[in-house]
Each structure stands twice: as structure tokens, then as C-alpha cells.
Amino acid sequence: LTRMSTKMTAVLLLLQLSSHFSSGSCGKVLVWPMEYSHWINIKTILDELVQKGHEVTVLISSASVSFYVEEGSAIKFETYPSAMSKTDMEDFYIEAIRKLIYELPKQSIWTYFSLLQELVWEGFENFLTLCKEAVFNKNLMTKLRESKFDVILADAFGPCGELLAELFEIPLVYTLRFLYGYTYEKYSAGLSFPPSYVPILMSELSDQMTFMERIKNMLYVLYFDFWFQTFDEKKWNQFYSEILGRPTTLLETMSKADIWLIRTYWDLEFPRPTLPNVDFIGGLHCRPAKPLPKVNLFPFSWFCCPCIFTKNDSLFSLRMSHSL
């Protein structure tokens, strides 16, 4: 099933590429990735693409800390200079994880979301800096434009891929697990999350809600729609408008994505409407379990005697698996 999901994802990308290059040739994919677990997921797609003969180039900053490939991999990296250091990036992630695990759970619900807002804005301020450093790097932009990429594969959790797709006038494929409150999935991808039977993310509700729980869910929807902002949209909107030379917004630019690859299984989600350009690709990074190695238990039998239990009509008989 995992292998089939991986192949289906590759097929979707190849179909997107096929209309942009001649028959029999291979495509060129530019990747705007995210760190750590995000990279593990997207790398599975990239491995499948290079195996099919496509050229994959991953755009990363000099401050990147977790992008790796196996020795001999055909995946290429285009690294641009950043004012941030690897230490700065590592320190941010470590501190963010510490706060998420040890500090935020101790707070009341409203204090929790207020502190979460500050934390994510701090993180996305770093991403805005990285995006600006890439876009304002004229030599980098010229090199990428002359490379004539066929498609951009971007992680929607870290904006900038959609801006590059607009600048280079090429198709955009998103990969995403979720964004807080499903706000961007709703208003950019056009997905529907009916609050009467689809619990909002982080509400800790099920799809079997009482009347009062539905009211609670609706309050969460209103909060994420009108109060909580994953990205500081004022800054991102201003930056995108400046670069594109016309009034625009982050939401509008993200809405131009051609395909959304959602990193979860459909059967693990709450039933809800979906769209033809949305595909669920959960489990791409999973692999079949290897057989457990055989272990000689004789040295341990002196301390804990392994036994085999066989059921009889009214009792269990114990047979020693090792004689002492």
C-alpha cells in the first residue's frame, strides 16, 4: 500500500510535468522544502522522481540543518547564502520544541493559543527572511530562471514556493499535513470542513458531537478564521505585492497551486468533501518492517524462564522452552 501511494504521488507529478515537455524527455523539478520530518516525507517523492530519470534541484539556504541524501543520490542542492547561521536555526527549533512540550500545555486554553501565535510568528519571521534572501539574490534568480524548471514542488507549511512559481510562471504542487485551524486549506485550496461534523484541528473533539460540542467547535472555527494567524499576513502580503508588482495576498498566491498532496490517509481523516486536485498520500516515509533477528535466550533463562502457554479446557499448562 505504501509503495502504491508513493507511485501514485509520482504519477501525479509526472502527469503535471508531461504537458510541459516533449514526449520521451524528462522534466526538471525545483523544490522548496522544510526541515526535519517535512524533509523525510518530501524526500520520498524526490527519490521516486529521480529514479524515473527526472532532474530534481532542492533550493536551500546556508543555514539549513537537516537536509540529507544518501551517497550517490541524483538529488541536487542549490544553496544560497543567508545571514542566519546553522546554530541560529538549530537553537530556534530546539527552543520552539521545548516550549511546545513543556510550557504551552501548562497554560489555559486562551493563553495557550496566544503563546502559540507568538511562537509560530517567530518561526515564520525566519522563513520570511530566508524567502527574501532567495528572491533578492539576483544571481540566484537568474540561474534558476535560465534553468527552465517545469514545475515547483513546495511544502505549504513554509511559504515562498508559490512566489517562485509566480515569478517563473510554472505550475506549483504543494505537499502539506495541515496548517493551524485548516485556514489555508479552506481559503487557498478550497477544501470544505463543515463544522457541524468535522472537528477543527486542536479542538480535541470527535465527529460525534453533542449540541454544546458543536457550539465549541464553531467557536474554534471563528477563532482561527478571524483571530489566529499562522503567518503574519500583513508582512507576507506586502512582500508578495512588492515582488510581483501588483496588489496581492499570500492566500491568493497559494490558491494558484495546481495540486495539493495531503500527507495523511483519507481513511484516518474525518469524512468530508474533497476536490479532484487534492490527493491523500499518507505513509510515504514508511517501509515494511524487517524480520526480527533470532536471539539466543539461554543466558537469560536463569533469571526469567521463557514459557510457552497452551490452552487446555480449564487450565494452562506450562512447558519450559529451555531446560536449566
Q: Contact 188/145 with Cβ under 8 angstroms?
A: no
pLDDT above 90: percentage of residues in the chain: 37
DSSP letter (8 states) at residue 102: I
pLDDT of 252-305, one tens digit each? 999 999 999 988 888 788 888 888 888 888 877 677 778 888 776 555 444 455
Neighbours of 232 (CB within 10 A): 16
pTM of the model: 0.80
User: Is 208 among the domain residues?
Assistant: yes
Label residue 2 by pLDDT band (50, 70, 90): very low
Total domains in the fold of the chain: 1
CATH value at residue 192: 3.40.50.2000
Q: Contact 33/58 with Cβ under 8 angstroms?
A: yes
User: Is 291 among the domain residues?
Assistant: no
C-alpha cell of residue 151? 514545475
User: Is 72 among the domain residues?
Assistant: yes
pLDDT of 107-157, one tens digit each? 888 888 888 888 888 888 999 999 999 999 999 999 999 999 999 999 999
User: Is 182 among the domain residues?
Assistant: yes
Whole-angstrom Cα distance, residue 93 to residue 81? 20
DSSP letter (8 states) at residue 106: G
Q: Contact 5/126 with Cβ under 8 angstroms?
A: no
User: Is 288 among the domain residues?
Assistant: no
Enclosing domain of residue 13: 2-280
CA angle 274, 276, 277 (to 5 degrees): 100
C-alpha cell of residue 74? 541524483
Give me the count of residues in the chain: 324
CA–CA distances in Å: residue 32 to residues 38, 53, 222: 11, 20, 31
Instruction: Write the burial class of residue 9 (CB in 10 Å: 0-12 exposed, 13-18 middle, 19+ buried).
Output: buried
pLDDT of 215-257, one tens digit each? 999 999 998 988 888 888 899 999 999 999 999 999 999 999 9
User: Is 11 among the domain residues?
Assistant: yes
Strand-by-strand arrangement of the 28-32 sheet: 76-80, 55-61, 28-32, 151-155, 172-176, 259-262, 278-280
Instruction: Write the burial class of residue 13 (CB in 10 Å: 0-12 exposed, 13-18 middle, 19+ buried).
Output: buried
User: Is 320 among the domain residues?
Assistant: no
User: Is 124 among the domain residues?
Assistant: yes
